[in-house]
Chains A and B, each alone.
Chain A
Amino acid sequence: EVQLVESGGGLVKPGGSLRLSCAASGFTFSNAWMSWVRQAPGKGLEWVGRIKSKTDGGTTDYAAPVKGRFTISRDDSKNTLYLQMNSLKTEDTAVYYCTTVSALMVRGVLSYGMDVWGQGTTVTVSS
């Protein structure tokens, strides 16, 4: 069974840092593209960023609101995805989900979806 388990959330002051982890099991993690998606209280889903598999270059990409402050990394030996969050703002308060990513051409169109989601970890940024 494919499973993603996030951890590391908590309460942090504005300007502080936090590192989230996502432990993966049930699939070949090293081959997978992974992403982080967040959901502020009472709001919709917001894509945070993505990391490709090392065989596909291992590159990262980020949404504009977090670019330069957040860093996604992976440790394939531990089947674990990370989200390092620095210079946190109150608007970063959200539940953070890690997801697997499926990206392939379907009928000539890029299909980019998030197949499996973890249960989420809550980050609260408040003084």
Chain B
Amino acid sequence: SYVLTQPPSVSVAPGQTARITCGGNNIGSKSVHWYQQKPGQAPVLVVYDDSDRPSGIPERFSGSNSGNTATLTISRVEAGDEADYYCQVWDSSSDHPEFGGGTKLTVL
């Protein structure tokens, strides 16, 4: 199966920029989606197709994808952004979607 690798944790001060990476073999050739999951809540789609935002998601959330790394960037981080973030792609070899292991974003 296709393996997606995320750092377990990322810390950032309020107002700074957080970058959460998602590594995978030639992931730049895939469409990457990002989900935010706050404690005790269901996941929410925050970025789809590498860099598009669903309606209602702030412009502070953006994404990029190239080579072997996709990145979720959160600008001007707020305390309310503290959450777990998961990347996800379609694995054509298994014909199933795959999730990364998740990254816990801590706002200092």
Contact = CB atoms under 8 A, between A and B. Distances in A.
Contacts, number: 66
Interface residues on A, range: 20 to 34
Nearest to A103: B90
A61 interface: yes
A3 to B, nearest CB: 12
Q: Is the interface of A mostly helix, strand, loop or mixed?
A: strand
Contacts of B100: 44
Interface in A108-127: 109-120
Interface of B: 29-31, 33, 35, 37, 41-45, 48-49, 54, 86, 88-90, 92, 95-102
Interface of A: 37, 44-47, 61, 63, 97, 102, 106-107, 109-120
Which 7 residue pairs across A and B have the least CB separation, nearest first?
A111-B31, A112-B90, A113-B33, A117-B42, A45-B99, A44-B102, A109-B31
